[in-house]
Amino acid sequence: MYTSLKDVVPDMQNERASRAVILRRAIEVIEEKQQQRADLKADCDRIRNEMAELEREIARLRENLAKSNESNCGSISGESSPQPTSLPAIVKIEPELRSEMCVKGEPMG
């Protein structure tokens, strides 16, 4: 039993060691692995929370974009309406193209 345990414990394969040393080192390795597992679980939880927050932000931005598209499609004046402050990267589109997109129901931007 101790020989097979010694074979799987890192850094013990080529070492002559007493049963107590083998058991002590095995316990250390197990505790290290448990700590690594706990750290990885905490990382996964943090990343899941971050993903959920990003998904909420994406939904909010899509909603803002849809509202912006609705207000831009409602304008028939040909003048470009001011871009929403939350979406500064929306590309301005020529008025003729804008009205074609609004008619077809395609998103602008």
Question: CA nearest 22: which of 35, 10, 33, 32?
Answer: 10
Q: What is the pLDDT of residue 38?
A: 98
Per mean pLDDT, which range of 4-8, 38-42, 46-50, 73-77 is the poorest? Answer: 73-77
Q: In this model, does residue 54 exceed pLDDT 80?
A: yes
Contact 88, 76 (CB under 8 A): no
The rounded mean pLDDT for the chain is 77
Contact 25, 8 (CB under 8 A): no
Q: What is the pLDDT of residue 31?
A: 97
C-alpha span between 21 and 14 (Å, rounded): 14
